Structure 1
Amino acid sequence: MPIDSVTGMVIYKSIQKIDSASKDELYSRAKVWIATTFNSANDVIQLDDKTNGQIIIKGKYSFKNYNIESFIPLNISIGIKDGKYKIEITEIIYNYFNQLNGINKWETVSIENIYPISNYENGKGWKKIMIEATNKIADECSEIISSFNSAMAKPTIQKPDW
């Protein structure tokens, strides 16, 4: 997992140049990606500032980890300028439904507390579960970045004039 050298926090990010694309064009591409990636773009967009080229998304990725209901909130920041964009996924928190010994409650742990996995010392069985969780989280964050980069590389399809 990528660790920010300044903050020590896990952060997934990508900064790409697309010299031929204007800020408005990149903004449109980002909005199309959001609309096709999330069930309801209106529900996940927390900040939409076209003038300053900023979009903040708060979504959720749900998954099962060894039959344990799990999710991570997705905190995604997108920055857009003429010919350039940036995407960051930060504040990664692993949430899981703990059913061991009849506990039956949601637990949360920040990714920094379990990665590297040697940081997580909550019993042997949990170490295996946390390794799998960090792998799934890493895969999902990488897929989000990859999907966004692919979408941003494609020009927006212009509809014919009616």
Structure 2
Amino acid sequence: MKKFYLSALLLFALAGSATAQKTKYAGYDRLPKDSTTHKVVYTAVVPVAGASKDELYNRGREWFARTFNDANRVLRMDDRTAGTLIGSGIITQPALEAFSSGNNYHFNLAVYVKDGRFKYELTDIEQKFRLGGKGQEFSNPLEFWATHKINKLNNHELEDADERIKALLASLEKAMAAKLEGTVKKDW
């Protein structure tokens, strides 16, 4: 009987340990993914009451210019008639731990506007880094982490990248909801 209880106790302990290992580092699992392609994608349709397609287009263009310092270098598609802005950008992540080198996350961002709403899609996120901050540059799509072991540092980097991307998109939503700065202060 003792063997039975000891075996049951050991089995429960191992099951709990296995569950803890799966949830301990959930950096990749917390990223939003497309249900069909399983690629990491941040997307939303955001209502902006009372804003016309042209107003939203202008706000989006200004946001690209202010956020990336030069909209003309970032935007690959700029179509006022279709209400489409597509660009590429980089989010820089400093070294998060003593022996890490920091990362750059390259991505594509599409903004589509219609009267009263806009949609964004941030896709094709690629992590680029140099080991020790020097030497050859390495590059992985974020989906790399779906099939590779994640350690504490990788997990921290993915969680931090997620927060930085969410902050970027929150700044887009805020800019799209606000009237353009140029239209507010005409009396300079």
Alignment of 1:7-156 (within 5 A): 7-65=37-95, 66=97, 67-99=100-132, 104-115=135-146, 119-121=147-149, 127-156=151-180
1:4 maps to a residue whose letter is: D
Cα drift, residue 87 of structure 1:
1.0
1:88 maps to a residue whose letter is: E
Query: Which of structure 1's runs of 4+ aligned residues deviate more than 6 A?
Result: none
1:3-22 CA deviation, whole Å, 9 max, x = no partner?
A: 11121111111211123111
Secondary structure at 1:90's aligned position in 2? strand
Q: Of 26, 31, 34, which residue of structure 2 is paired with 1:4?
A: 34
Q: Structure 1 residues 160, 99: CA separation in 2 closer, same or farther (over 3 Å shift)? A: closer
Secondary structure at 1:72's aligned position in 2? strand
**TM-score of the two chains, using structure 2 as the length reference:** 0.74
In terms of Rg, which structure is larger?
Answer: 2
1:38 maps to a residue whose letter is: F
Secondary structure at 1:21's aligned position in 2? coil
**Structure 1 regions of 5+ residues with no counterpart?**
none
Secondary structure at 2:91's aligned position in 1? strand
State the identity as a percent.
29
Select the structure that is richer in helix.
2
Q: Distance in 2 between matches of 1:41 and 1:111?
A: 25
Select the structure that is richer in strand.
1
Secondary structure at 2:119's aligned position in 1? strand
**Matching residue of 2:16:** none
Q: Distance in 1 between matches of 2:154 and 2:138?
A: 13
Secondary structure at 2:151's aligned position in 1? helix
Secondary structure at 1:120's aligned position in 2? coil
Question: Does structure 2 retain, via aligned residues, the 8 Å contact 1:77–1:88?
Answer: yes
1:39-59 CA deviation, whole Å, 9 max, x = no partner?
A: 222111111001001111111
**Structure 2 regions of 5+ residues with no counterpart?**
1-30
Cα drift, residue 161 of structure 1:
8.3
**TM-score of the two chains, using structure 1 as the length reference:** 0.85
